[in-house]
Structure formats: structure tokens, C-alpha cells
A = this chain, B = another copy of it.
Amino acid sequence: MMDEGRPRYLRIAEDLRHQILEGTLPPGERVPSESELIHRYGVAQGTVRKAMTELRTRGLVETFHGRGTFVRSRPPVRRKSSDRFRRSHRKAGKAAYLAESEQAGVEPSVHVLYVGPVEVPADVAHKLGTTSGNRVLARRSLYFSDRAPMETATSYIPWDIAEETPELFEDNPGPGGIYARLEDHGRVLEEFLEEVSARLATKEESSELALSAGAPVIELVRSAYGVDGRVLEVCATVMAADRFVLEYRIPASG
């Protein structure tokens, strides 16, 4: 094996990576065990483990203690386009998530984790224009596509607005989702502000979304503005970074 000056563990990782990309190691397949790789490449265990760590942080493999390391089957990327909040979708009785899923050809499901009052966190309070610690309505859900967890979303609604909209306290707020209910009660929406950032998943998020440790997530915080300029809702979404691409259209005029 030529040395090329590069560390052996990187060369081993590269080798396995090519086998994965070329299909020699197809998705779901078990990667050769540490002991086999030790013999194959003639290196110590630590070197093989570093190579595996490399592949793991690149999201190519997933390892299970006592079972082995497996090639990850990349689920098709979901595209979240910025037209998913078009009023025409709401009028047609579709909530944003269901409309997206239909377009993607997957079977959506939603697991409502919590609906009820909470003390508003400081960052959300700032966006809602209320005081930190005030009571707001929170709706926390986990969204699935074909039974695989895709994203978590937590929605915060000022208490006075929630009170005039009793459907928001139901697990299922009805056709068109919560934005449709807000507009039913005269809270006409003017625009949304989405703030996108990325970071590594916390332990909690890793388990909720079935991610491997150290996997990145996209965090999207959306503020819904009414025609009066008031923020009617703040929704924080956490998505596995390797499962989403967000799309935004921006007009050149102005």
C-alpha cells in the first residue's frame, strides 16, 4: 500500500467510502468488522476505529454496539419550499406538512407530544413581543414520513389569541392547520419571517429524530405576522440536516 504521506486511517476511510459510493457496500450492508479490517489493512485496532469515526461523522455509516457497523441508507431528501404557506393551500384544506408530503409522495403522520400552557422562553418572548415567563399556548409535535421521524416543531401562541381560537387546544386543529384557524377568527396573516440556523443535535434531539451522535440539525424559527403587525405565532422546527433542503424564492425587484 503506497503511503502518499497521508494518515493511514484517512486512506482506509477513503477506501471504504469509495466502496460505499460505488455500491460494493450497498446501503444497509454490514461494513467488515474491526478485526477483519485489522487483518485486511494490517493495522492496529485504534487505526481502524479512527477510520470508522471519520465515516460516521460524514454520515456514511452508523454503528451499533455489539452488532456492527452498517452503511446508512440515505432517505430521499425532502424539499421544503417557501410556497408551502400559500393561502390557497390553506383554503384547499391542507396544512403545510400534509401538502408537502403529498407532493413528495410519502405517507405523513403526526404525533402530538404536548398541547397546553407553558411559560414562554426568553428568545420566543422577544419575538412575540411579550415578557419572558408569561403564559402562552405551546403545541409540540413530532412529524413522520413513512413512519420515520423527520422533524419536531414547537408552536407558541399568545394566550389571548389562543383563547379566541378554541380549536388550537385540540390535538388536530382541523383542515388547513392552525393558520387556517387563526384566519377563521379574523386574524389575517400578512407575512412570515423564517430564521434559519444550523448546529449539532443535542442528545434529546438525537434520540427524538433517530440521529447518530454529532449529527447536524437545521433549526428554523418562523414568526407569523398579522396584518396589524403583531406576531401571532412563533414556531421552532428542528430537522435532521441530511434530510432537508429549504428553498426560498426572492424577487429581484425592490
Interface, chain A (partner B; CB < 8 A): 46, 57-59, 82-83, 85-88, 188-200, 213-214, 216-218, 224-225, 241-242, 244-254
Say yes or no: A198 contacts B200, CB within 8 Å: no
In the bound complex, do residue A199 and residue B214 qualify as a contact, i.e. CB atoms below 8 Å apart?
Answer: no
- Shortest beta-carbon distance, A167 to chain B, in Å? 19
Cβ–Cβ contact B196 & A245, under 8 A: yes
Is B87's CB under 8 angstroms from A196's CB?
no
Report how far A247 CA is from B222 CA in the complex, Å.
10
With A83-B254, A216-B216 already in contact, the answer to whether A246 and B192 are too (CB < 8 A) is no
30 contacts between A and B (CB under 8 A): A46-B46, A57-B213, A59-B199, A59-B200, A82-B250, A83-B254, A86-B254, A87-B252, A87-B253, A87-B254, A190-B252, A191-B250, A191-B251, A192-B249, A192-B250, A192-B252, A193-B248, A195-B246, A196-B246, A196-B247, A197-B218, A198-B198, A198-B217, A198-B218, A199-B216, A199-B241, A199-B242, A214-B214, A224-B252, A225-B252
A241 and B193 in contact, given A82-B248, A87-B252, A253-B87 (Cβ under 8 angstroms): no
- Given A57-B214, A241-B216, A196 and B248 touching (CB < 8 A)? yes
What residues of chain B lie closer than 8 Å to A254, measured between beta carbons? 83, 86-88
Interface centre among A83, A87, A213, A249 (most CB of B within 10 A): A249
A199-B216, A214-B214, A241-B199 are known contacts. Are A194 and B57 too (CB-CB below 8 A)? no
Q: Decide yes or no: A245 and B189 within 8 Å by CB, A82-B250, A254-B88 being known contacts.
A: no
Do residues A194 and B247 form an inter-chain contact, with CB atoms below 8 A?
yes
Which residue of chain B has its CB nearest to the CB of A216?
B216
Q: Which residues of B contact A218 (CB under 8 A)?
A: 196-198
Pick from B197, B247, B249: contact of A245, CB below 8 A: B197
Contact partners of A198 in chain B: CB under 8 A: 198, 216-218, 241
**A194→B59 contact, CB < 8 A:** no
